[in-house]
Structure 1
């Protein structure tokens, strides 16, 4: 009965019946391998039905993966996620009365702290943009918007002109999951954005129907790839290695936390689904030299 339930679960993934299952070949193979190993462990305990598996069984197995088999935390986290999906499936099918994976915690995943841009480097980027050219004004507006709001690069290039709320000094941002958040703008970001709308964007636009806030030299919406090339160009001129738009997002989060903003507010501004993602920045603040 143990393996039969696993086979049914994997088949449901392959057929796209499970929410957020993906159904790719790699996903299916990972689930089959991870749950096959769990089956062998449970069977070795003399248990023949998932009904008799307890939270202690799952917690002990995770502990064994960590200590006896010395799996990396990221691998254990993936395996436990597979177990949780499997037991949710069993609960939905009425094959178990409770989920034994509930309350089993993921091992801490160690991540290297990313390098953070300092204020001097950010100012260097701003100074490199030429305010006397439409392209320079556009680039300066994008850089200021990134640093002032922590907006993602994908969200930045998705902005439309009507997302700029001048009266409220804010940008309406539609996030990666469709959630809407209003990001306050600094006075400097406001000034540069208004300058771009006055002297930059009109020089690029070829069709009055274009809605995009940031456009390329063809007057069309700037792509994420195009924006990355722009960032790389400024990084090269500034002598900053491995600069990405996400590093400006990191710098924004650090600045907000360092200035005393509470973690929940920073989470809301960044659009993080889970507070644990935002908590990572607390490590960065602590690691910075005083």
Structure 2
């Protein structure tokens, strides 16, 4: 069996059995293609022939090309997962990645917006257009719930209960959770559904909550482009990604007194340690306020 066939089988497995997102599958595909190219250059005929030293050579190549630690870690994660699949299928006897350590990451705190910046960003879409009403509803929902963009684009009309202000979200690994939605988001979504969605949708059978101008389900990339357009209209707001809404949600919740466990549940984090990074953000925020406000700071 060729390397390409092994990779195809792995990607099908990740999609069908692990419910990996399109974003994750694209990264896995690119990382495995790069590793396959390396094996070809080294004259190695397949994953079963890869040794620990071969892996060290591959990492050395990445280092020569000055890949960031985060990128190297992602590639290692993809390759470890690939070999776990091969072991499970009995296609290899050992994994050459068993004794490879992941590079220690530089500590990078998540970027968030201040409440005033978020308010300004939420009011940039034009309410006189169907896409403007849609975009306002999207941003209100992202900020109100802290859900991932990948979770937002999967929402159907049936996923939202506007009367009770909750949404049923399907997260990573097909895990579902209910998240509350604040009144501003409920209002924005209701206005979008009543005044804009029916204009955008071309087929009555379309179930997606948020649709594009052709009436189909929005994609992660479409939302990224949409946000880029509005960010340029807000003074002092730069380098904002869809995930910034999630970071801002968590940071503002903790600053207002929410406990860490509640925020963990709302974000859909499996481990509390993943959520704890936001406590560092709030500490830094408090320190900056202190430094600006106290005469002897």
- Does residue 272 of structure 2 align to residue 275 of structure 1? yes
Contact kept, 8 Å, 1:170 with 1:182, in 2: the verdict is: yes
Alignment match, 1:119: 115
Check whether the contact 1:34–1:82 (CA below 8 A) recurs between aligned residues.
no
Q: CA deviation at 1:110?
A: 2.8
Shift of 1:27: 5.7
Distance 1:243 1:34, change over 3 A: farther
1:173 maps to which of 169, 174, 188: 169
Question: For the residues of structure 1 that align with 2:134 and 2:76, how far apart are their CA atoms?
Answer: 46
1:154 aligns with 2:155: no
Is the 1:148–1:186 contact (alpha carbons within 8 Å) kept by the matching residues of 2?
yes
Cα 1:270–1:122, aligned 2, differ >3 Å: closer, same or farther? same
Q: Which runs of 5+ in 2 are unaligned?
A: 1-5, 15-27, 40-46, 57-67, 290-297
> What is the distance in 2 between the residues matched to 1:279 and 1:176?
19
Of 35, 38, 42, which residue of structure 1 is paired with 2:52? 35
Cα distance in structure 1, aligned partners of 2:181 and 2:134: 16
Picking from 118, 139, 142, the partner of 1:143 is: 139
* Deviation string, structure 1 residues 88-136 (Cα, Å, up to 9, x no partner): x99xx9x9xxxxx9xxx98863322233211111111122122232221
Q: What is the CA-CA distance between 1:271 and the residue it aligns to?
A: 1.8
Decide whether aligned partners of structure 1 residues 136 and 265 sit closer, same or farther in structure 2, where only a CA change above 3 A counts.
Answer: same
TM-score normalized with structure 2 length: 0.66
In the aligned structure 1, how far is the partner of 2:77 from the partner of 2:228?
Answer: 38
**1: distance between equivalents of 2:73 and 2:129?**
53
Higher relative contact order (CA 8 A, sep 6+): 2
User: Partners of 1:185 and 1:191 in 2: how far apart?
Assistant: 10
Contact 1:34-1:79 within 8 A present in 2 as well? no
Q: CA deviation at 1:36?
A: 3.9
* 1:264 and 2:261 matched: yes
Q: Is there any run of 5+ residues in structure 1 with no aligned partner, and where?
A: 1-12, 40-71, 96-100
**1:56-103, CA deviations, whole angstroms, 9 ceiling, x for partnerless residues?**
xxxxxxxxxxxxxxxx987799989999x999x99xx9x9xxxxx9xx
Partner SS, residue 109 of structure 1: coil
Count of aligned pairs between the two proteins: 246
Show the counterpart of 2:126. 130
Please, what is the CA RMSD of the aligned residues? 4.1
Distance 1:160 1:82 in 2: 34
Displacement of 1:243 in angstroms is: 1.6
Describe how 1:5-154 pairs up with structure 2 within 5 A.
24=32, 35-36=52-53, 109-154=105-150
Query: Judging changes above 3 Å, is the alpha-carbon distance between structure 1 residues 16 and 27 closer, same or farther for their aligned structure 2 residues?
Result: farther
1:203 is matched with: 199
Q: Does 1:242 align with 2:239?
A: yes
Normalised by the size of structure 1, how large is the TM-score? Answer: 0.67
Larger radius of gyration: 1
